[in-house]
Amino acid sequence: MREGGSNGMAQAEAEYKDFILFYPTMEEAAEAQQKVCMIHYKQMEKPDRDDRHAFKSEEECRTLLTQFPNSKFAPQTQQLLRNIQEVLAEKEFRVGTFYNTKGSNPAASNRLQNVADQWPLYSKADMDLWLLADSYSKMGPRFKVKAGQSYQRLVRDYPLSPLAKQAADKLKEMEMQVPESDPVAIARMKYEEENRIKPGMMHNFWGVFKKSPDTLAAAKAGSPAMEALRPTLPASIPLPLGVATGVNDVGGQVLTGESALEKKDDARLSSQQPGGSGSAAPAAAPATEPPASAEQAPAPLPNNRQVAPPKKQKKEKKTKVKN
């Protein structure tokens, strides 16, 4: 590990993994797992770059807290996990902000909702909820409830934020209930403000030349997320009734005896023989129904496509004819 480089880091990780495999009950096993977490933490890049090591370091730190919760390395690993999740949340927040600025509100709400649900300790969680409510409000009246819930969460969970008063005003305009501030959230935000590390004068200047991300704004207290981020569908995509999201179980069974496929005629053969005995009679044309009025038609679901503004036609210049 001291040798450095990608090859040296990979070899060190393999050695530490072997030690944990053969000596899982020793005290040094927790230290070896912490070294594996640091291997990927040191190779972690900025939010707008490759996030492979960020996800890997998050997984390894979560493994240490799960397998060795009483280790002396647990408090330090918790802070490392908060730093890692700050970088991952910043990456997702930037993508959601881009979609919100572009006008792709379904994509923006999907990204910003992931940040709010997965990483509540994110330093810009209040701004994330504000943009999330703005995206929902632009998606039509059917998403008014979701926009109000985002404003309510901002007022309740981030009461010291400068956006809390504006969110309360938005709730009054929407005629929705303004929740009371959570005292635990107030104490947490005060603690974060008192223990936040202020960057130096040349911090932003030298940050351009650094490969590693900036984690000074990461939370200093609170329980980090212990589950990995799972991709979700945008709220504008309707789901069939009775279908649970995230369930992909497939079952099968062995058929015994004769099935319906063996007893009945093959429908494909009957469709290819219009004059045969197996051909079915043409179905009667359905009765025409009167067209629904514009008031009864449901509003179309929002999408991410933006209608291009019409191009202005250039006026032809009139040429003066000299006599």
Average pLDDT, the chain: 84
Number of other residues whose CB lies within 10 A of the CB of residue 304:
15
Q: Residue 222 falls within a domain, yes or no?
A: no
Nearest residue to 163 (alpha-carbon basis) of 122, 183, 133, 118: 133
User: Is the pLDDT score of 270 beyond 90?
Assistant: no
Residue type, 204: N
Average pLDDT, stretch 162-186? 94
Domain endpoint, select from 164, 179, 196: 196
Contacts of 121 (CB under 8 A, 6+ apart): 82, 85, 86, 218, 219, 222, 224
Distance CA(170)–CA(159), nearest Å, equals: 15
The pLDDT of residue 248:
55
Count how many domains the chain has: 2
Same domain, 112 and 166: yes
Same domain, 109 and 183: yes
Q: What band does 186 get if pLDDT is binned at 50, 70 and 90? A: very high
Residue-number span of the structural domain to which 40 is assigned: 1-89
Where is average pLDDT lowest: 33-42, 43-52, 191-200?
191-200
Q: What band does 278 get if pLDDT is binned at 50, 70 and 90? A: very low
First to last CA, the chain: 90
Contacts of 323 (CB under 8 A, 6+ apart): none
Q: What band does 202 get if pLDDT is binned at 50, 70 and 90? A: confident
| The token pair that represents 125 in the structure block | 């969680």
User: Is the pLDDT score of 169 beyond 50?
Assistant: yes
The pLDDT of residue 94:
96
Same domain, 124 and 155: yes
The pLDDT of residue 210:
87
- pLDDT tens across 104-127, in order? 999 999 999 999 999 999 999 999
Domain endpoint, select from 149, 164, 196: 196
CATH number for the domain spanning 70: value is 1.25.40.10
Q: Residue 158 falls within a domain, yes or no?
A: yes
Query: 191: buried, middle or exposed (CB in 10 Å: 19+, 13-18, 0-12)?
Result: middle
User: Is the pLDDT score of 244 beyond 80?
Assistant: no
DSSP-assigned letter for residue 141: G
Domain endpoint, select from 28, 58, 89: 89
The pLDDT of residue 303:
81
The pLDDT of residue 296:
55
Q: Residue 266 falls within a domain, yes or no?
A: no
Distance CA(292)–CA(286), nearest Å, equals: 17
Contacts of 48 (CB under 8 A, 6+ apart): 91, 94
- pLDDT tens across 94-110, in order? 999 999 999 999 999 99
Whether 279 and 76 have beta carbons less than 8 Å apart is answered as no
Q: Residue 268 falls within a domain, yes or no?
A: no
Q: Residue 293 falls within a domain, yes or no?
A: no
Q: What band does 309 get if pLDDT is binned at 50, 70 and 90? A: low
